[in-house]
Structure 1
């Protein structure tokens, strides 16, 4: 019962504040790209703060981020990491599925922030557009965050790395830092959220230039390092 009450309180507080924040994005966008990104990261930090103080979810970070721009493939088990990692990496370009980018106003705000849109049924033209957006992010000195398994999964699930990751790795020629996490233990897809500690483990950097099979195997192992 306590977990359910905390989850309800979180939803009322965080999503209640998120509505006016999203409605304010057109004004934030008018103040410039840097302001817009800072505005979005402030929202992400609000989510992390709410999780900590309302849900009782703490975060533990192991390892280190890269010194400069890098490609960060991460496990995806809950909404929490989309906010937490964005704040940790200082507004990276996030690879986002096209369906999310089509949500009215929110999708527009995401594009103004500077996401990289990917089409799951991508043809060659769509893939080239994704690469151009990734190169533009790199030109701004931003890191790139991707969830290479392609979707949110439950703890214990380890689907293969999707094919688009290898193309992005080859095009950007950046060091790769896998991020393993276990947010699904406290933030399930269904049911109330639970207090606890979520670990974010930054793996050792992987150099660019590896063969596709090698990089996919190393990334898959890296993002699943906390799986039982």
Structure 2
């Protein structure tokens, strides 16, 4: 019961903190992309810090965090893994659903940071527009983050990996850094309860450039799924059939 109360308090205060931090940084963020990044990194740091002391949930980043221009293909289980990846990467640019652009506070900052918005209901056009927007922003460098399954996936659930990641991989001609996580075990997609423990985001060994689409997709899915399950088992999760 106490953890339930702490979870609700945490959700309330971290939700309130978002517009407050957004307003504090707004004068800087309106005129500077660096200001927008600073605001969002400040919020991410606060969300992780307050989770640690309020609900007993620590955040841990493993592996070598990429610093240069690279494609990052991540497992997505929770809003927490977004926060952790954004905070860890020097200059993350996420590919995300278009609806987020119209979300209060978050939407304004994603526009200012020029995140790549995709209309998920128009697959062919969405991929073409994604490539166009990515190429338009390549002069800035940074880490392009895509969630290869296109949505949050609960621990143990299986959703196919989408071809958009392979298209980007082929177009960019860059290595791809897979990312595994167990964040969904502690911070689920739905519900108010937040579990104490150690949420991990792990940057895995890069996949070299130049693989065929089929070979790349098979390698990406195998690495991410295997590493994510290992992290879940480490956290105490058990397979549904066990």
TM-score normalized with structure 1 length: 0.91
Q: How far, CA to CA, are the matches of 1:129 and 1:192 in structure 2? A: 38
CA distance in 2, matches of 1:202, 1:106: 25
Compared with structure 1, are the counterparts of its residues 136 and 57 closer, same or farther at alpha carbon in structure 2 (3 Å cutoff)?
farther
Partner SS for 1:226: helix
What does residue 214 of structure 1 align with? 215
CA distance in 2, matches of 1:111, 1:82: 17
Distance 1:186 1:105, change over 3 A: closer
| Structure 2 CA distance for partners of 1:128 and 1:26, relative to 1, 3 Å | farther
> Corresponding residue for 1:5?
5
Please give the root-mean-square deviation of Cα atoms over the aligned residues, in Å. Answer: 1.9
Q: Is the 8 A contact 1:170 1:209 kept in 2?
A: yes
The gaps in structure 1 that reach 5 residues or longer are none
| In 1, Cα distance between equivalents of 2:163 and 2:119 | 12
Q: Is the 8 Å Cα contact of residues 169 and 208 (structure 1) preserved in structure 2?
A: yes
Q: TM-score, normalised by structure 2?
A: 0.86
Q: Does 1:198 align with 2:199?
A: yes
Q: How many angstroms apart in 1 are the aligned matches of 2:127 and 2:9? A: 41
Deviation at 1:123, TM superposition (A): 5.3
SS in 1 for 2:228: coil
Contact 1:41 1:86 in 2 (8 A): yes
- Structure 1 residue ranges, 4+ long, deviating more than 3 angstroms after superposition: 22-26, 123-126
Deviation at 1:216, TM superposition (A): 1.0
CA distance in 2, matches of 1:20, 1:62: 30
Segment of structure 1 superposing worse, 47-56 or 127-136: 127-136
Q: Which range moves more in the overlay, 99-108 or 215-224?
A: 99-108
2:130 match? 130
Q: Equivalent residue for 1:71?
A: 71
Q: Is the 8 A contact 1:116 1:130 kept in 2?
A: yes
| Alignment CA distance shift 1:66-1:22 (3 Å) | closer
Q: Which runs of 5+ in 2 are unaligned?
A: 230-238
